[in-house]
Amino acid sequence: MNDSAAVSTVDVFALNWVNRQARLGEPWFFAQTPTPLSSPYPIAFNDDVAALLDIDADAARAAGYTQTLAGNCLPDGAEPTSHRYGGHQFGVWAGQLGDGRAITLGDIRNARGQSYEIQLKGAGKTPFSRFADGRAVLRSAIREYLGSEALAALNIPTTRALAMVGSDAPVYRETVETAAVMTRVAPSLVRFGSFEVLFEARRFDDLAPLADHVIGEHFPELAGIEDDYARYKAWVEIIIERTAGLIADWQAVGFCHGVLNTDNMSVLGLTLDYGPYGFMDSFDPGWICNHTDEGGRYAYDQQPHVGLWNLGRFVQSILPLLSEVPDDAVAMGQQLLERYRGIYDNAYMARMRAKLGLIDAREDDRALLESLLKTMARDGADFTRTFRALGHVSSAPDAGDAPFIDEFADRDAASAWLADWRQRLGDAGADDAPRAERMRLTNPKYILRNYLAQNAIDRAQDGDFSELERLHALLRRPFDEQPDNADYARLPPDWARGLVLSCSS
C-alpha cells in the first residue's frame, strides 16, 4: 500500500527538534533540503527505534510516514543539514568527502533527555555529492537496515534504522536499480574525518567548536574539567577506549566491516556506514568480506590494527587541542595511542572468555582460545555455530559432545580441545546450568549471514517485503533458540559461497 495517499490526522514527527547541527552551522554543517522522491512507498518501519525517538509507531503507520521519510516534506521544526568531513581511504588521504547522499533532517531530544540525529540516507544531492546522484538503491538500504539492527540486538554499539521507503525511480549503478531512502538514527554522526578535514585544510581554529559541540552533548562526564587541554585529553582517552571496545565486539561475533576508512569511524565508538560488511561463516582469520579490498587491508584479522592506525590519524588531526606547544602535543598524542593495544587486548580476551564460559582470567586462557581458533581455521568450522554448540556441552566428559564435534572435520582434534577446556573449567564447570545460560546469552544462534540478506533483497526487488520483515524479527532475538526458525541457523548453501560484496553494496 502506498501510504502517501493517506490522510494524516496526527503529526507523528512533531518532536522536540533542537537542531544542534543547524545552530553550529558552517563550516561543519550546511543547510540542505532533500530532493523529492517520486511516488514513494513504505517498506519497513522499526518500532524499537521509534520508541527511542518518542514516535508512536502505530500512529506513524496510520497517518502515513513515507512523504516525510522520503524527504518530500519536512517536519515542522526540522532544519536539515549535510555534514562536511574528509577521510583516509585505504590508507590514502582522499580529501574532502562529506554527506554525499545523506541529509540530516535535524536533531531531537526525547523525553528522557537523550539526543538523536534523524538522517535520510539517499535523499538527494548535497554540496558533497561531487559527481554522484545522491541516491541510495534498495539493496544497499536493506543491507544497512538489517545490519545495523542485527548488531544492535547483539549489544554492539551502532547507528540504528528507523524506516525505509522505496520508489520505482531508476538509479544507475553497475546496472539500473530502484531507489530507496533509509532513515538512519544516531546520537551523533560526527566521524574521525570530521576533524581530519579541518586539520588538513589548516583550519585549526575550527577544531575546538566541533569538539565542544560533541563533548557538550555526548560526554557530560567531562563537563567538570575546566582546563581545555585536560578536557580534550580525557575526551581522546574515551574515544580510544570506545574504539578498542567496538572492534573487540566485532571480532567476538565474527563481524567484518569491510571499509574501515577514517570517514567511517565514529567519535562515539558506533558502527557506522554499512557497505560491504559481513558476518563470517567458516572461520578464516584472513577473511576479506569486500572484494574491492584486493590487498586485504580491512580483513577480519586486520581490524584491530586498522583501528589503531585510524586513531592515529584522528589524534594527529586534533593535536592543536592537546597543547599549544607542538612537540608536547605530539608526545601526548603518542602516549594516548600507546594505551590502545592493552585496552583492546583486555577487551577482546574478556569477550572471548565469556564465549568460552570462563569466569575468571588466567594466563593460559589465550593459548586455549588460540588452540580452538587454529583448529577451527584448519577445518573451516563455522564461527557462530561452533561457539553456540560449545554452550551445550557439559563439563562431564563425552556428555553431549556431538553438536560441537560435528562442526569439525578433525573430530579427534576437537575432542582433544574439549578435554583441555574441561580441565580449564575445573570446579566452576560443575555448575553447568548457570554457565550454559551465560554462554547462551553471549554466543548468538542467529546472525545476518550474507545469503540471508540476499534472499531478503531478491524478494524485495520483486516487491515482496515479507522476508525482510521475517528476518528483522528473527535478528531482534539472536540469542533465543526460536525453534520455528532453526533453518536460519543452518550452514550456508553452496550457492552462497559465490556471493561477493563491493563498496557499492
Residue type, 73: C
Residue 485 annotated as binding? Answer: no
The size of the chain, in residues, is 505
3-state secondary structure of 94: strand
Residue 490 annotated as binding? Answer: no
| Cβ–Cβ < 8 Å for 182, 166 | no
CA 146, 152, 158, 162 torsion-angle sign: positive
Determine whether 263 is an active site residue: yes
User: CA-based angle 305:309:312, to the nearest 5?
Assistant: 140
User: CA-based angle 239:333:261, to the nearest 5?
Assistant: 55
Which whole-number Å values give the CA distances from 340 to 70, 99, 362, in the listed order? 41, 29, 21
Residue 133 annotated as binding? Answer: yes
In this structure, what C-alpha cell is assigned to residue 389?
554448540
Residue type, 375: T
Residue type, 95: G
Residue 191 annotated as binding? Answer: yes
Contacts 24+ apart (CB under 8 A), 275-278: 275/140, 275/501, 275/503, 275/504, 275/505, 276/501, 276/502, 276/503, 276/505, 277/143, 277/147, 277/501, 278/450, 278/501
Residue 275 annotated as binding? Answer: no
Residue of 107, 263, 293, 401 marked catalytic: 263
Residue 121 annotated as binding? Answer: yes
Residue 76 annotated as binding? Answer: no
- Where in the sequence numbering do the catalytic residues fall? 263
> Residues annotated as binding site for ATP?
98, 100-101, 121, 133-134, 184, 191, 273
Annotated binding site: 98, 100-101, 121, 133-134, 184, 191, 264, 273
